[in-house]
Structure 1
Amino acid sequence: MNNILKNKKLIRKNSTIKIFVFIFFQSIITYSQSSFIKGYTHDSEDKPIDYFNAIILLSGDSSLVKAGAFINGEFLFDNLDNNKYILKLSSVSFETKYINFKIENNTNLDLGKLKVNSIKLNEVEIIAKKPVFKVENGNMIVNVKGTSIAEAGTLNDALKECPGITVDNSNNISIFGKGKPIIFINGKEIQSKEELEVLQSDNIKSIEINRNPSAEYAASTHAVIKIETIKLTKDILNISINNNTSINRKGGNNTGIDINNKKGKWTNFFSYKYAIFSTLDFKESNYKQTFNTTINQTENKDTILNYSNSNKLFFGSDYQINKKNVLGIQYSGVYNKNNGLDLTNKKIENTSNNILNFRNKRNNDDNNNLNNIDFNYRLNADSISSLNINLDYAIKEYRSIIKVNEKNLDNNYNLNTKTNNFNKYNIYTTLIEYNTKFYETDSKFGIKYSGINNSGNTNTENTDNNVISYNSTNLINENIFASFLKLNKSFGNLSIETGLRFEYFQAISKLTQNELPENQDLKQSGLFPSLMLSYTDSNDNNVSFSYSRHITRPSFGEISSYIIYFDSLNYSTGNPFLKPTLYNSFELSLSLLKNMYFALDYSHITNEIDLITINDENNINIKKTTFINIENTEEISALISYNYSKKFWLIDVSCGISKYFLNDKNIPLINRNPNWYFDIKNDFNITKKIILTANFSYSSKGYSGISKMDEEYYFSPRISCKFFKNKLIVGLSWQDIFKTRILNYESIYSNIKTTEKSDYDGFHMLRLSIKYNFNDFRPSFKQNAINEEELNRL
């Protein structure tokens, strides 16, 4: 009897092992119980059909088996049983095509190239406008190709015209109610915001906005933007040159060349951009310090002149080993140099009517360099299974020299200081992702490791007597290990997506300030789940609900000892004791009538990081600008977008509102008025070659975190023209043509009230852009990078 029981246990054990082995390997080999059919549609000029419908019918009774909408000419249907079928291909302006085929012995079928003839229209010119956006599984997808957004200029310019996306004068991108997104181009994460300037808007097919991403993405990801470019399908060499000239109080120029090549198994891409730019900004700030018996008030009036030049280089190459395997390498380099001059008139007054007047001069010389290399491998095992492996290494260096001359106008006393800052980062990143389909469930599994080594030092010297007044060094080593699993299954019109991410974080920091050491060893681990329910009816109306948990770790600048002295009474620095920020986010979205989108969001935030001004710990007359954690924050936001199009005109209207609730002992408990914004975009097709765009934006008074923002509004027109069979594109745009946009805010923390009014040169800009495409330039190279999250924290 014992032997029988042992044999049964052994049989069960062996069966379990066999089941796990089968589950692991079943997605690498071709299914033996079902088959697939695929093909490629093209027109008479061998160009892919951009958008078409494909339907599979049973040959006997013409009953529907499968159907779908496809782009870029390619289509694929899997899990087909042995039978006779009819394939129906249809697209606007093309003749419908029918093809009979047969699946037998569970074999796969590749129909190859299928030519679809166009319908000829004599002496009729049609100017069609695509819908600006559609919604799939709760994500907004903005069409770019064939719309005026394609004529915007750079990718940043295209993003400015998407509902709910804002791009500030420093090209920082944010999504309304969500903050900074992670950006992907053709499924690959970009490495820095400078990379966005490589891509031109007319090379973009679509932009997808995910406002509540799943556990597939890093736990610090609050929003995702996915960009799909127009792809090459045949061997070709093409070149594009472009130039943008900007005129404001100062001005600048940006010149670039892109070379794209596809030859046999090789796909190569090269891009180089050189930019020079200067700005003249004006800023007024006021700091009011309240003590028990006195009030100190400081008024600053700044005139800021900045000059910058940058070189951006990108090269990448993919080698198609065979139909299933692709090996790639890419390099990117960004080299920025900035020189600045800040002239400040300062007035300090207290309740005893004691007044001090200063005139300060501050020069800064900054160098910021980034080099990044990526190795990647892609395996498409079959129609439903794929493996991606990425290895990244990046090195970033930042150096600055800040010289300050401070003159007391009351006694002619001069103080001269010089501050040297240096930071160097080494970033190592590895990502492995595996996609498959198991029991009709789309599955994705991945693991990621990232390591960051940072070394830096800061010293401040009184150049009048050559005395070092401050010295610090910092060494920080970070390691993050992560793994995730995402599952997606459809039940008729209902789609369910669930995910779980695990992250382990370790940071060891050694900080020395004026020979006083401060060491930290931080270890954290956590689970970050996500859930999405999406229902789409037969009219493409969609309703979606999603939940996700995220974490944002402090950036290196936020925790660094790096010091910027404005004068002897004002400086900024990081806070090495910041805690990570935890988010629990919920979103309900609704899409109706193919042209209306609505989203409602709620987030509970613990230890949100914000920038404040406080008294220096050693001298209350000195003000320190630094970062702090806000104990508890709640945010509610809503977004609605609507578009309407006629033959020659398209209008897109979007409106959003957000309200904050803060709970922190150092922040006044007041009613924080909501902040709302309104955007309206008009596109007019004057002729087939000329497009006029007129955009108006407004944001109201209201609170964003601890800051109370004043209202902003501005109007920006643009016109673009095409010549020489669309090879030459000339555009003229004027951002904030009436110069009404001024940044004005106030914040209160502890005993200091801060107000600031800034007129940035970058807000008001006239720009002439010229682009010429040789041989119908299209970007076919997929940029790979997996370290954007790490680089953004630098």
Structure 2
Amino acid sequence: MCLSAEAMTEDVGGRVIDAHGEPLPFVSVALLTADSTYIQGATSDVDGFFQIKVSEVCCILRFSYIGYRTKYVDVKGMEIGTIQMEEDQAMLSEIVVKGQMPKTKLTGNSMITTIQGTVLGKSGTAQEMLAKVPGMTLKGEDLEVLGKGTPIFYINGRKMQDKDELKRLRSEEIQSVEVITNPGAQYDATISAVVRIKTVRREGAGLGFDLMAANNQNLTFGFSDPSSTLNLRYRHNNLDLFGMVNYWKWDSPNDLRITQSTFLKTDEGIRNILQDSYIRNDWQGQGLNYNFGFNLQINDKHSLGARVERHNQFKTHNDMWVNTENNLTGHDLSHQDDHTHYPYNWQSNAYYNGLVGKLNIDLNVDFATAKETTDNQIDVYLPEAQTMQQNSHTWSRLWAAKLVLSYPVWKGQLQAGTEMSFVKRQSSSAITNYPLPSTDTDVKENNVAAFVAYNANLDKFGTVSAGLRYEHVGFDYMDNLDANNNMTRYQDEFFPNITWAKQFGAIQTSLSYTMKTVRPNYSALSDHIYYLNSFTLQQGDSKLKNATMQEVSINARWKWINLFAAYERRDNTITQVPMAYNNEGIMLLKQANLPDPVRNLAIFLSANPTWGVYSPSWTIGGQKFWNTMTFDDPRSDTGKTDVTFTKPIFFFDLNNTFRFKYSWQLEANTNIQTKGDVLNFRMLSPSYNVCFVVQKCWLKNDALCLRASISDVFQRSVQDVAQDCGFFYGVQKTRSRSHRLDISIRYTFNAQKSKYKGTGAGKAEQQRMSNSN
């Protein structure tokens, strides 16, 4: 009798999409009885798929998601099919009026923050907004994920190639931001963090555009940098056409004060070469960025498209004066006049995204090519008049493809796929009237990867995400001037990752382990020696090894408070290390692998409450490295000395937003960083950046918006940095360049979101190529 009373159970699956037919992730799926009694729940994955175990007595599924109307579906068989959610316009309007802080949800290895309808949706550019998103911070001009460093950015599934795109994208256009602190197997093994930006979905067809004009005034050096961006969109039926033109001008001045002490062993004893250098460096450039493309939505299951973009950087100019006092030659004065040409820089992507039965197919093909030439005239006035000409040429090309297959299995989603990238790079350099060798090299690197991942909802045991990535990397280095330097290297590596997440009452938690690698940028693999001044040279190393990182991290969230902690071990860490070039006091800054492991502990606590019109976003935390390095030191009896870098460094991000009636907004933001050690560098002074913002918007949906901000009010956003390397000790003091007044105005007409779904391939290789420019 007991057996006959048992209800038969089966797995029921389906897919959730939004009003535009795009996957809707992290939708709450609840299993209810006929009288609405809750039995169990599930969550849709990043592709909108879900699975839940039901029995004969269960007959209702409830689908709910913030900003969408709750939907109820009767269970009639084992396949629910596609569930299309509808936006709740009334709810969104109410959120806009109240100006609530973003809703952040911890989902395994990521945090998803709702931006639309919150004060973050009125924060100017995407770059300004992202600095306030839980889990992120702004260091200088670069955005970082707390404890993870610089992330890879995706906008609507497309890999962002130009970091200035975050200055062109407005926060009003962003629906949500996902910060992934433990990227799965589908991402390249060099990627330690991912930020996925999803823009607002708008109804309507026809022509739409938005126009933005801005001027950035440097209050310290007096430069004025205008920019403007025009985005055009046209949508008809299932065809979406888009394009963008952006003009920019930028000046990046630097005032540096560098003091150096180099110890050499001579017949007379220990010689201490003292140098006190003042460097004034002005980089000036301007250019046009433009792109165009299309997306064809064949039906709700199949779409394809293509995108082409070019970064047309006009001839740039770098002007640098180096004035040095030293106790060897007395006075050293030189001037470098550097002109760089960019004949072309093209990038393109084509994609297909489809659903065949339960199988989701995501295919991307990418191509990128760029050329760069630099002519640098070096005039040395003291101690002896001399003129040198240093020329370098670089050409690179990339082909890449990525295929991701997803299929619902048991209580989750199984992913498998492959990614391939083929890179070719040619570089050469030569200098006249100075004893440095010329270089002429060809580099080829082929990376073929395969990966598998599985995400499962284990009901009361939480959710588990596990993956394994295999990469076969072939590296060929050819020195066209000296065959003895030729090198061929092949590597086969596996990179596992696993995340377990579970909710305990109101507390969301996750625990992760991951293994990653760091491959040096192509410029770091160049043996070319660059002249900096009479006593300082710079060089890469073609024999650099890849670094590996293993990390264990924990994430916990309660209401509006979030805690993140990570412990990491790095092997073969890549960094810049000073070393003696000869016995005459000339120092070489060389890329090198550290022989001993480096350990790192990071802990951050964030809070994002809302109290009336006041919405603070605070983050406090610290980071501690354990790093000991052995250097040559002629002052010691053994000729060696150990230097430790273990002093912790602390961070404070205190962002404060006040949202008033009639679309007025005021902001007061502060970023503080204390003294401490970072890898093999010492921060000798604290830094803090205080910024004030005022913003006013008009017209329906704030279509016209004026924003003014003044940053680094007290001009203390830089730190004194030292390198302690036994035989060498140097301190660099930098004058602030971020004391700026930024005024921008934006107008939007019939805005629509592009349907472009290309995610790109070979993105880590493109990043390494771009970093070398």
Q: Normalization by structure 2: what TM-score?
A: 0.88
Identify the residue that residue 476 of structure 1 maps to in structure 2.
443
SS at match of 1:737: coil
The verdict on how the C-alpha distance between 1:259 and 1:597 changes in structure 2, with shifts beyond 3 A counting, is same
Q: Which of these residues, 481, 499, 502, is aligned with residue 470 of structure 2? A: 502
Identify the residue that residue 552 of structure 1 maps to in structure 2.
518
Q: Which of these residues, 622, 628, 639, is aligned with residue 663 of structure 1? A: 628
Alignment of 1:502-651 (within 5 A): 502-512=470-480, 517-539=484-506, 541-592=507-558, 594-616=559-581, 618=582, 620-631=584-595, 632-651=597-616
SS at match of 1:793: helix
Q: Is the 8 A contact 1:36 1:78 kept in 2?
A: no
Gaps of 5+ in 2: 1-9, 632-640
Q: Which of these residues, 701, 705, 708, is aligned with residue 729 of structure 1? A: 705
Q: Is the 8 A contact 2:608 2:616 kept in 1?
A: yes
Aligned residues: 735
Q: Which of these residues, 648, 658, 669, is aligned with residue 684 of structure 1? A: 658
Give the letter aligned to residue 578 of structure 1: L
Identify the residue that residue 636 of structure 2 maps to in structure 1.
none
Deviations 1:92-131 (A, max 9, x none): 999x8786x6554667566778697849999x99423134
Q: Is the 8 A contact 2:257 2:279 kept in 1?
A: yes
Provide the rounded CA distance (Å) in 2 between the counterparts of 1:93 and 1:468.
67
Q: Is the 8 A contact 1:185 1:783 kept in 2?
A: no
Q: Is the 8 A contact 1:82 1:102 kept in 2?
A: no
Q: Does 1:237 align with 2:213?
A: no
Provide the rounded CA distance (Å) in 1 between the counterparts of 2:124 and 2:444.
40
Q: Is the 8 A contact 2:12 2:78 kept in 1?
A: yes
The verdict on how the C-alpha distance between 1:755 and 1:35 changes in structure 2, with shifts beyond 3 A counting, is closer
More moved, 172-181 vs 251-260 = 172-181
**How far 1:282 sits from its partner (Å)?**
0.8
Q: Which of these residues, 236, 248, 251, is aligned with residue 278 of structure 1? A: 251
SS at match of 1:577: coil
SS at match of 2:657: strand
Alignment of 1:419-438 (within 5 A): 419-438=390-409
SS at match of 2:608: strand
Provide the rounded CA distance (Å) in 2 between the counterparts of 1:542 and 1:204.
25
More moved, 135-144 vs 448-457 = 135-144
Provide the rounded CA distance (Å) in 2 between the counterparts of 1:775 and 1:202.
14
Q: Is the 8 A contact 1:652 1:681 kept in 2?
A: yes
SS at match of 2:309: strand
Higher CA-based Rg? 1
Identify the residue that residue 488 of structure 1 maps to in structure 2.
455
Identify the residue that residue 406 of structure 1 maps to in structure 2.
380
Identify the residue that residue 353 of structure 2 maps to in structure 1.
378
Q: Is the 8 A contact 1:313 1:334 kept in 2?
A: yes
Provide the rounded CA distance (Å) in 2 between the counterparts of 1:723 and 1:398.
44
Give the letter aligned to residue 101 of structure 2: K
Q: Is the 8 A contact 1:82 1:103 kept in 2?
A: no
Deviations 1:166-208 (A, max 9, x none): 4455x44332322222222223333343444443222111222
Provide the rounded CA distance (Å) in 2 between the counterparts of 1:190 and 1:125.
29
Give the letter aligned to residue 561 of structure 1: D
Provide the rounded CA distance (Å) in 1 between the counterparts of 2:645 and 2:317.
42
**How far 1:56 sits from its partner (Å)?**
5.8
Q: Which of these residues, 205, 218, 226, is aligned with residue 253 of structure 1? A: 226
Alignment of 1:65-104 (within 5 A): 85=59, 102=74, 104=76
Q: Is the 8 A contact 1:425 1:454 kept in 2?
A: yes
Provide the rounded CA distance (Å) in 1 between the counterparts of 2:652 and 2:43.
33
Q: Which of these residues, 309, 317, 324, is aligned with residue 332 of structure 1? A: 309
Q: Is the 8 A contact 2:153 2:197 kept in 1?
A: yes
Provide the rounded CA distance (Å) in 2 between the counterparts of 1:51 and 1:522.
43
SS at match of 1:291: strand
Identify the residue that residue 3 of structure 1 maps to in structure 2.
none
RMSD: 3.3
The verdict on how the C-alpha distance between 1:585 and 1:414 changes in structure 2, with shifts beyond 3 A counting, is same
The verdict on how the C-alpha distance between 1:215 and 1:642 changes in structure 2, with shifts beyond 3 A counting, is same
**How far 1:133 sits from its partner (Å)?**
3.1
The verdict on how the C-alpha distance between 1:720 and 1:385 changes in structure 2, with shifts beyond 3 A counting, is farther
Provide the rounded CA distance (Å) in 1 between the counterparts of 2:15 and 2:585.
75
Provide the rounded CA distance (Å) in 2 between the counterparts of 1:105 and 1:205.
35
Q: Does 1:319 align with 2:296?
A: yes
Provide the rounded CA distance (Å) in 1 between the counterparts of 2:300 and 2:119.
36
Provide the rounded CA distance (Å) in 2 between the counterparts of 1:121 and 1:523.
57
Percent identical among aligned pairs is 18
Identify the residue that residue 324 of structure 2 maps to in structure 1.
346
The verdict on how the C-alpha distance between 1:290 and 1:132 changes in structure 2, with shifts beyond 3 A counting, is farther
**How far 1:449 sits from its partner (Å)?**
0.8
**How far 1:418 sits from its partner (Å)?**
0.9
**How far 1:742 sits from its partner (Å)?**
2.4
**How far 1:503 sits from its partner (Å)?**
0.8
Give the letter aligned to residue 222 of structure 1: S
Identify the residue that residue 21 of structure 1 maps to in structure 2.
none
**How far 1:441 sits from its partner (Å)?**
2.6
Deviations 1:330-376 (A, max 9, x none): 11111224211111211111xxxx55112211111123442111111
**How far 1:772 sits from its partner (Å)?**
0.2
**How far 1:647 sits from its partner (Å)?**
2.2
Provide the rounded CA distance (Å) in 2 between the counterparts of 1:339 and 1:716.
30
SS at match of 2:129: helix
Provide the rounded CA distance (Å) in 1 between the counterparts of 2:168 and 2:409.
39
Q: Is the 8 A contact 1:132 1:142 kept in 2?
A: yes
Q: Normalization by structure 1: what TM-score?
A: 0.86
Q: Does 1:178 align with 2:148?
A: yes
The verdict on how the C-alpha distance between 1:501 and 1:561 changes in structure 2, with shifts beyond 3 A counting, is same
Deviations 1:679-705 (A, max 9, x none): 111110122401111111110000001
The verdict on how the C-alpha distance between 1:54 and 1:116 changes in structure 2, with shifts beyond 3 A counting, is farther
Q: Is the 8 A contact 2:574 2:594 kept in 1?
A: yes
Alignment of 1:147-226 (within 5 A): 147-169=118-140, 171-226=141-196
Provide the rounded CA distance (Å) in 1 between the counterparts of 2:38 and 2:726.
68
Q: Is the 8 A contact 2:14 2:81 kept in 1?
A: yes
SS at match of 1:792: helix
Provide the rounded CA distance (Å) in 2 between the counterparts of 1:195 and 1:523.
36
**How far 1:543 sits from its partner (Å)?**
1.7
Q: Which of these residues, 753, 766, 770, is aligned with residue 791 of structure 1? A: 766
Gaps of 5+ in 1: 1-31, 43-47
